Each structure stands twice: as C-alpha cells, then as structure tokens.
C-alpha cells in the first residue's frame, strides 16, 4: 500500500499515488492542444478533448440525449429513474450528484459566502450561484438552440427546450402519470402533489 504523507490517502499502486501527489503540488502536466486547459490527470484531459470534437458517444437508451462523458450519462439516466443517491447529512435534501449536495450544504447550512458579485452587493457561497447572479445583470444567453432562435442563460434550460423539439417527456412523476419535457415543470409538479397530499391527510 502507498500512503500520501500530505493527506493520508492510501493507494494500491505507486503510479496512482504519483498522480495523486500532483493535486497537492498544483502541477498540471497534461495540456490541451486547442486551448489553455491543463490538468494533473490524463483521463481528465481525454474527457476535456471531447468538448472540442463535439463527439458524444454515450447515448441514453430511453431518449435521444447523448453525452461526451459516461458519468454525465449516468447522471442523466437518474432523471428517468428518479434516483437521488446523494443525501444531505443535515436535512432531507437529496440529489442526483454529490456536487449538488455540496452546493446545497454551502448555500443553506453554512454562513460562509466568499464569492461577491462585482456589479452589486450580492454574496454567494458557490461559483455556480455567482455565475447565475452575474448573468442577471446582463442579457447574455450563451446556450443556444441549433434548431430555432431560442437561447438561455442556463444550460439546463436549453436541455429542457431541446426536449420540447423532440416531443420527449423524460421527467416523470413517481406518484401519478404526469410527464413533461422540462425539469422545472416536474419540480413544480412535485411541490403541488406534496401539497395536496399534506392537505388530504
């Protein structure tokens, strides 16, 4: 076994430890030939390269969505199954990704808000929510539909919109027959169902 002396993580192979040590040194030897991206891991560079080629080899078997990364497909499939394997340790919140739970904890359960919008007095706890705040001050809508003139500030909104072109309704309620092409619509529907359920009891 090979142990990191800086964080005590243990690895079964010396090469894995060597790669891990780069995360502590900040060294990023694997560089993209097409942009300024660099990383400590070759596998991360391979995934990044797909963003330049547009290749999306990982296809969903339940709808027409496809992804450049296998992990992205795994997360997408959870929108069909309703699976939310990651849970907050401080409340009942659960999510499809560990990152979402981490962002939830930072924004809801911590006082620390170290990211400040340069255009207003708004502080936030995550880079993602800061980006959303900055977009509120501009008309920029970087995510554009290839089939019509629609554009969106958020990538998820564009994905929902594309589903409407395809006639797909991948977001399904687990308590009734309701289905929709928009993630926001299914979230609003869940709130309605829960409200009715509470009133009925």
pLDDT digits (tens, 9 = 90+) for 110-133: 766 667 777 787 777 667 777 777
Exposed, middle or buried: residue 102 (CB in 10 Å: 0-12, 13-18, 19+)?
middle
Q: Is residue 144 part of a domain?
A: no
Neighbours of 148 (CB within 10 A): 11
Q: Is residue 101 part of a domain?
A: yes
* Residues contacting residue 119 through CB under 8 Å, at least 6 positions apart: 134, 137
- φ, ψ of residue 3 to 5 degrees: the values are -110, 135
**Residue 201 pLDDT level (bands cut at 50, 70, 90):** very low
Residues 44 and 68 in one domain: no
Residue ending a domain, among 11, 37, 53, is: 53
Mapping DSSP onto H, E and C, the string for the chain reads CEECCCCCCEECCHHHHHHHHHHHHCCCCEECCCCCCEECCHHHHHHHHHHHHCCCCEECCCCCCEECCHHHHHHHHHHHHCCCCEECCCCCCEECCHHHHHHHHHHHHCCCCCEECCCCCCEECCHHHHHHHHHHCCCCCCEECCCCCCEECCHHHHHHHHHHHHCCCCEECCCCCCEECCHHHHHHHHHHHHHHHHHHC
Residues 67 and 125 in one domain: yes
Residue ending a domain, among 136, 168, 183, is: 136
What's the Cα-to-Cα distance from 175 to each of 54, 82, 178, 191, rounded to whole Å?
Answer: 37, 11, 8, 12
Residues 18 and 40 in one domain: yes
Q: Is residue 48 part of a domain?
A: yes
State residue 111's pLDDT score. Answer: 67
Q: How far apart, in Å, do the first and last CA atoms of the chain sit?
A: 56
State residue 195's pLDDT score. Answer: 58
Q: What percent of the chain has pLDDT over 70?
A: 87
Residues 49 and 62 in one domain: no
Q: Is residue 90 part of a domain?
A: yes
Q: Is residue 19 part of a domain?
A: yes
> Which residues, listed in sequence order, are joined to residue 67 by a DSSP beta bridge?
58
Q: Is the pLDDT score of 174 beyond 50?
A: yes
Residues 121 and 62 in one domain: yes
Task: Name the more confident of 22 and 189.
Answer: 189
Q: Is residue 167 part of a domain?
A: yes
Residues 29 and 80 in one domain: no
Residues 40 and 68 in one domain: no
State residue 116's pLDDT score. Answer: 78
Q: Is residue 145 part of a domain?
A: no
Residues 94 and 131 in one domain: yes
Number of domains the chain is built from: 3
Q: Is residue 93 part of a domain?
A: yes
pLDDT digits (tens, 9 = 90+) for 76-121: 888 888 888 999 898 998 888 888 888 787 777 776 666 777 778 7
* Structural domain that includes position 67: 58-136
Q: Is the pLDDT score of 194 beyond 80?
A: no
What CATH number has the domain bearing residue 181? 3.30.160.60
Residues 102 and 126 in one domain: yes
């Amino acid at each position: 076994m090979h142990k990191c002396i800086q964080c005590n993580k243990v690895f079964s192979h010396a090469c894995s430890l060597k790669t891990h040590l780069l995360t502590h040194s900040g060294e990023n030897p694997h560089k993209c030939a097409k942009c300024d991206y660099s990383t400590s891991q070759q596998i991360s560079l391979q995934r990044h390269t797909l963003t330049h080629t547009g290749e999306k080899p990982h296809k969903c078997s339940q709808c027409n969505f496809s992804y450049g990364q296998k992990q992205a497909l795994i997360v997408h499939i959870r929108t069909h199954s309703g699976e939310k394997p990651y849970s907050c340790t401080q409340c009942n919140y659960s999510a499809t990704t560990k990152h979402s739970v981490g962002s939830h904890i930072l924004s809801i359960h911590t006082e620390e808000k170290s990211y400040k919008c340069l255009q207003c007095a708004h502080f936030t706890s995550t880079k993602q929510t800061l980006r959303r705040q900055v977009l509120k001050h501009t008309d920029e809508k970087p995510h554009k539909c290839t089939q019509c003139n629609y554009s969106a500030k958020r990538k998820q909104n564009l994905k929902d919109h594309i589903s409407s072109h395809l006639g797909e309704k991948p977001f399904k309620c687990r308590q009734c027959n309701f289905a929709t092409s928009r993630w926001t619509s299914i979230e609003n529907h869940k709130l309605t169902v829960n409200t009715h359920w509470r009133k009925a009891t």
